[in-house]
Structure 1
């Protein structure tokens, strides 16, 4: 299949992007890696009048670390972040999840922020953002704003980004002295997850985040639970996610995975 006709803008500066978004609004789409967008164009699930290519803007291709956070620009490819020398030390959960994102070939093109903009509930990077309590950095010609991960994902492939806004980057906290675990079940390595879970030890107990079940990645914080109390909490969480049957798995199978993987990961981070 072929995409519908569109105009193309190769932006040289962020101002070019913001001006085009302000003018075109919902008729424009930002193109970074294109790993999701190009497929949607070819299937005519997206029909923008204008594509804005941001990959020549150097300031969007930076990874910057401060004392308490890592800021990842909109043009940072997944392979770039995976090769970043400080990844395992600064963002150990991302280091665990990122190798499960697609394949080497797609990671060499796809961007971290592009995955967040696409907002597939089975994708690994939205799950990591929610699990870590990160923020999405949005910018328009009018203002800048930061949106917490839990508020950014509004539904399946829906986000809180306005039509005139660019996802300029994300901010992920550097969490020292904690433990992290990640696991997913997929039909094949590199496929979207049937269920993906991320766990981290918190000062008051544990956080478990789940993707691939609800329409958005979802996290729960619990005190340190053991035995039947943990089983009850996981069972309630599995049902709250509202799993549905589809061509990949039944709702019952997804609930079972949440319970089993959740228990394993919680035990791993709390041991």
Structure 2
């Protein structure tokens, strides 16, 4: 005779299959124990005999009319998170920041808030280059280090010593790569040396006067796993040229060829985009997420 508890697993699986768009059920993992309890829900009665919980991954998609509004929304969110955190001398807010052109509008707004006295970065530590953070609190990968592997390991160690990243802000490329985690990267990767894809090299040529010979072909980058360890992740996606990447990120399954798709599995992920970036999404998907706000 089938054990009575087998029905528990069937009910849990049935619940998982009925999950709405934007809610990706998954089985418990070590990461959930380390992250915020937000986005987690207890499983059906009877599952507690194994002390299990069904983890609900709540994925938000915030859609704004244009790039400027998306940038402003992201900047206000970062500002509010820092203020709500109430950082102090013994309690720093740890912020991960991206490079590239997508976050520039957000950065301009953050600079504006800082100059107006609405936001202080005195007790904020960042793990990316940024001109408005106290240099003593900025941790930047040194691409000229003699021992690149040691540099990557030290960077990971600094993040752990800081208590982990509270909010990691990221941007993506048209091929769905986040940081320099190119298509095919491991979804549990850590900070390491990566060879850049030709699409990335071509996209970065604008920063080198259009001269491809000047564009580096390798880079140090945080890994997908490094970003996944953050307590919260916000990814900025703007422009029609990134519409297919957004579609892959939220409407299809997790795929290492589209590294941004890994964040479907993060307990607290927010995708912030403009209307142009939603062109490849289903109408019902757009309506669902717009109805949330």
> Shorter-chain TM-score: which interval?
under 0.3
Larger RCO of the pair (alpha carbons < 8 Å, separation 6+): 2
Give the structure with the larger strand fraction. Answer: 1
